[in-house]
Amino acid sequence: MTIGPLHTTAGHTTIFNFGAFNFKSTPEDTISSQGDDLTVTAKLIDPGTPVTFGATKNATCIDYDNTGGSCWEFDVLCSGPDCGGSYDAEFATSYDHAATIVKPGFLKNHSASCPTTMFETNQIDGFFQTRIDPTTKAKSGGTGSCWLATQDTDGISDSVSNFIGFLDPVQNAAINVVKGGQAIPLKFQVLNSNGQPLTNLSLCTTGSCPTPSITIRFGPSSCTVDTDITDISGDLAATAGNAGLQNLGNGNYQYVWKTPNVKGCYFARVSLNDGIAHDALFKLK
């Protein structure tokens, strides 16, 4: 199953969601608007099947005895005239369950790095980080591959979608500073596994949510001292719009959050049916 190629602007986040697993990319540097896109392919591997990653150490998909199990191989390709900058990439389970077992695989080639540590049982939302450097193969683009395995459990979402956001003026890689009481437009785009826009998302406000839908919630958060801070208060005057979830077309949506008049740090969280949370952080002044 392949999603992409998709362009992700520096500081923004693209989620390539493959059901039980997702691949998250947040490029830290500006990359060409004419190209430099990421394509992510996920391949399901049967338990017990050997997995070969180039000339490096091979791996075997974990067999979970009677519990079942699934392994995914992820191949990541950066293509474009000049794949500059690095991508922070995260592989994660898309659900919470006490019986989750996650184990990373090994490196396919030198343009990505996969840790080989084991996440123990009872790990909730286990994930591991890797940096994909698209400059590895010069201007031809970079490639990398990792693999993951997890225990099958009840409640695994089989939905496949792609979350692109948050979009300007909100910044993903920083704490967004605004004035208390300001209205903040949370903008994002949602695509299906074929890269086509999901145009019928609804806002779920009850315990039973239709498919496809999203939930949006807000709450207090801690301010991390070593996190970048960006003041976006001056960018909000002409961008707010109407209240509620707005369908802007072509899979683009906007939700306007009227911030409280209380100083402090807060999060805004958008979750799709797959249960993956997409957070933006704010500091009210």
CA 60/CA 48 separation, integer angstroms: 6
Convert the pLDDT of each residue in 122-157 to its tens digit.
232 334 444 455 544 344 456 666 655 554 434 334
- Residues 138, 62 share a domain: yes
What is the pLDDT at residue 218?
Answer: 92
SS3 67: helix
- Residues 81, 24 share a domain: yes
Convert the pLDDT of each residue in 84-134 to its tens digit.
555 555 555 433 333 333 333 332 222 233 333 333 222 323 344 444 555
| C-alpha torsion sign, points 177, 179, 180, 182 | negative
Contact of 127 with 90, CB cutoff 8 Å: yes
- Residues 250, 195 share a domain: yes
- Between residues 195 and 204, which one has the greater pLDDT? 204
Contact of 162 with 191, CB cutoff 8 Å: yes
Domain containing 115: what range?
2-150
Convert the pLDDT of each residue in 219-263 to its tens digit.
998 776 555 667 777 666 555 556 788 999 999 999 999 898 888
Q: What is the pTM of this model?
A: 0.57
Domain-ending residue, one of 129, 150, 171 = 150
Find the radius of gyration of the CA atoms of the chain.
19
Residue 273 domain-assigned (yes or no): yes
Residue 32 above 60 pLDDT? no
- Residues 119, 239 share a domain: no
Residue 115 domain-assigned (yes or no): yes
- Residues 99, 230 share a domain: no
Residue 277 sits in a domain of what CATH number?
2.60.40.10
Domain-ending residue, one of 106, 121, 150 = 150
What is the pLDDT at residue 271?
Answer: 83
Domain-ending residue, one of 150, 169, 201 = 150
- Residues 167, 119 share a domain: no
Residue 247 domain-assigned (yes or no): yes
